Amino acid sequence: MRTGSICGAAATLAAALALSASASAQELRIGFMNTYTGGGALLGKHQDNGWKLGLAHEGWMKDGDKLGGVPTRIFYADDQTKPDIGVKEAEKFLKQEKVQIIAGIIWSNVLMAVTKPTFDAKAILLTTNAGASPMAGAACNPLFVSSSWNNDQAPEALGKRMSDDKIASIYMIAPNYQAGKDMISGVLRTLKGPKVVDQDLVKFGETDFQASISKIRAAKPAAVFAFMPGPMSPAWFKQWQSAGIGKDIKLYTIFSVDNATLPALGDAAVGSYTASYWSHDLKIPENERFVKEYTAKYGGLPSEFAAQAYDGARLIAAAVKALKGKVDDPMALAKALRRTPYPSTRGPYEYNVNGIPIQNFYLREVVKGPDGKATIVSKGAIFTKHKDSYWEKCPADKRI
């Protein structure tokens, strides 16, 4: 009896020690995919800054530090704005680095390219910018979550505003790729009244808009809607200003004017309108803290790219805390990411069943500030608690 008791106790102790060792060995591994080179590097720099500031606010500064109470390692990759490079880097994250989460990603075409290898590996995909519409609808996945938006949401808000402004006619221009098509679709979905005189899908990355501006001049619309991401934005605005037609035609843009691009745009952007879920002047305590500390650290105002990456880092920390550090179950972690409150720069919000935020969208105008320099000011909410237009297409078995 005594020998059996000793053996039983030893077995129990061994099991407990094994369980303890397993728990203590848990490590969170995150791959952060960004654009560090090429024309999109400026946006990538803002995203990188915001991400690292969010990590710092959670106490993580280097590999081995704890994020949400768990030792965490973070790996970085440059997608170079190319889907094939994105896939290569994602596979490295998954196969070599064994990450549980791939975060970041600016471009919708890169996002769409990396979904299959990520989900096949049962890893989580947390986008801090790209919002390709298929991911909100038919291609939704319970392992997907966004700290930004669906592509259509902000242009839907802008379409509503243009309708309220009683614009007589509008000319639409965007690059010919997933996000460009989504932006135009979003505007058209809520546009009531204005006549669309033409739609111009230009080459992604185009920087010569003389032909398009000539078409606009000939069409004589009351307004233009333009989506000019990354390096397309400065080229567009400079040529728009040089053409001198802005005095007769109102300009509405999406993800073309922000605090990343505005220093290069200057007065060329003054008088234009945009819409976003976020602005640096929103009177939200966490946002005010973020803007103050970001400006002090990096010497300039943050953009949306910085704000939503900052939010992504803090969301991960909150979810890991909620799970008490148990990061080995991807579905449990995905649910925690969607259901755990955290201190967002946009204030409290909820997630829809497809992992897209339900959030406010604000009108913003570019004006000359007291110092004579161009600045962005928010002009009130267009939509409150706005759901994306695709969530009902998310299959029932893919919803959480």
Residue entry with tokens 């319970």: 142
pLDDT confidence of residue 26 = 85
Q: Is the pLDDT reported for residue 119 higher than 90?
A: yes
Is the domain 24-149+283-348 a CATH 3.30.70.1730 member?
no
pLDDT tens string 324-368: 999 999 999 999 999 999 999 999 999 999 999 999 999 999 999
Write down the pTM of the prediction.
Answer: 0.91
Per-domain residue ranges of the chain: 24-149+283-348, 153-276+361-386
Q: Is the pLDDT reported for residue 5 higher than 80?
A: no
DSSP result, 243-309: HT-TTTSEEEEESSSSTTTHHHHGGGGTT-EEEES--TT---HHHHHHHHHHHHHHSS---HHHHHH
Q: Could you tell me if 213 and 243 are in contact, meaning their C-beta atoms sit under 8 angstroms apart?
A: yes
Average pLDDT, the chain: 93
pLDDT confidence of residue 8 = 44
Give the Cα separation of 202 and 195 in Å (integer).
21
Give the Cα separation of 183 and 164 in Å (integer).
19
Length of the chain, in residues:
400
pLDDT tens string 19-32: 333 333 589 999 99
pLDDT confidence of residue 217 = 96
pLDDT confidence of residue 50 = 98
Q: Are strands 169-175 and 101-104 parallel, antiparallel or unpaired?
A: unpaired
Q: Could you tell me if 34 and 77 are in contact, meaning their C-beta atoms sit under 8 angstroms apart?
A: yes
Fold equal for 24-149+283-348 and 153-276+361-386: yes
CATH of domain 153-276+361-386: 3.40.50.2300
pLDDT tens string 263-278: 999 999 999 999 999 9
Q: Is the pLDDT reported for residue 111 higher than 80?
A: yes
Q: Is the pLDDT reported for residue 306 higher than 50?
A: yes
Q: Is the pLDDT reported for residue 18 higher than 60?
A: no
The DSSP secondary-structure symbol of 5 reads: H
pLDDT confidence of residue 237 = 97
